[in-house]
Copies of this chain bind each other. A is one copy, B any other.
Amino acid sequence: MNSLAEKVISGDSRALARAITLVENRSGDYLELLKDLYREGGKARVVGITGPPGAGKSTLANVLIHSYRERGFRVAVVAVDPSSAFSGGAILGDRVRMQDRALDDGVFIRSMATRGHMGGLATATSDVVNVLDAADFDLIMVETVGVGQDEVDIVREADTVLVLLVPGLGDDIQAIKAGVMEIADVFVINKADRSGADRVERELHSAMTLAGVDDAEWTPPIVKTVATKGTGVEELVGAVENHAAFLSKNDAAVKRQRLKYGRKFRDLLAERFLMGVRKHWLSEEEEEKLVETFLRREGDPYSCVDKILKAVEWEKKP
């Protein structure tokens, strides 16, 4: 076994940070590392936290860390931020608050950059979760911003998905629910001391009825919190634990895992194929020349893809 993998498994937090950097950057022996670590995993519970910007996801993650630490859980947080040089500054406040727990080695917090992943952010994030799982964290929270498809893809890999809403978004609520209704296991109305919290709750109830969610085996509970004051957090932990119990006595968890690993496998395959094409068949410079022919409409990308895929000997099944 790779010695870095051994250190990660033994709980060395510097090794863990280094391993995550390799995996995030797709550099060094990251594949061997992932193979070694994969077999050690499968034990952690993964909780996804999503919602619109400003809903208080990081603050809520922070109070959940506190709560689960008191229960003796080792807790990791992977925060997926929208990427830009600027975003570092914009969200720094929350990150700093989360770092309250930086001196506790039962807590590990990591931000992911959202650009520059040839195979997509979801692939890299899920690999990072596998690393943390092998490093013996009991609970891994994945926090994503926004309601975009990529964020939905990331967060739905979690065993339990918390969708945060916040009063005061007005008409917007309908549109937000549309994208995330189907992935929510628990709805959290954060900043519930603001006016409008009851309206959000009523709208959620009727939206769930409309969507048929409340006929399903699991009806997502709606929990009201004020994360900054700790209000409602114990109720939220209860809801998360109820969902974990539901999953354990039900095949829903296994179905979810099947979909998740199917997607993961295809994402990895696409990423590695593109890396192979770049390395062996089409350098960056060659690709740039091709692109020029597309711009002049002398060639088209569809025909070029045909030509490249003809080189794959499909009849030789691996």
Contacts and interface: CB of A to CB of B under 8 A. Distances in A.
A304 B145 CA distance: 32
Contacts of A302: 31, 34-35, 38, 268
A145 B147 contact: yes
A172 to B, nearest CB: 3
Contact of A297 (B38, B114, B172, B315): B38
A265 B149 contact: no
A295 interface: yes
A102 interface: no
A72 interface: no
A311 B304 contact: no
Given A254-B295, A262-B287, A274-B266, A300 B178 contact: no
B91 A175 contact: yes
A81 interface: yes
Given A86-B207, A281-B317, A179 B146 contact: yes
A67 B276 CA distance: 48
A8 B83 CA distance: 39
Contacts of A171: 54
Contacts of A85: 182, 211
A176 interface: yes
Contacts of A54: 169-176
A262 B288 contact: yes
A262 to B, nearest CB: 5
B264 A301 contact: yes
A300 B172 CA distance: 42
23 contacts: A34-B302, A38-B300, A38-B301, A39-B297, A54-B171, A54-B173, A82-B152, A84-B178, A86-B181, A86-B182, A90-B178, A168-B170, A254-B295, A257-B295, A262-B287, A265-B287, A265-B294, A265-B301, A269-B305, A280-B314, A280-B315, A281-B314, A311-B318
Interface of A: 31, 34-35, 38-39, 41-42, 52-55, 81-87, 89-91, 114, 118, 120-121, 145-153, 168-182, 207, 210-211, 254, 257-258, 261-262, 264-266, 268-274, 276-277, 279-281, 287-288, 290-292, 294-295, 297, 300-318
Given A148-B150, A272-B309, 20 more contacts: A42-B295, A52-B172, A53-B176, A54-B169, A82-B149, A84-B178, A85-B211, A91-B178, A114-B149, A120-B120, A145-B148, A146-B151, A168-B170, A169-B169, A265-B291, A265-B304, A269-B305, A276-B309, A311-B313, A311-B317
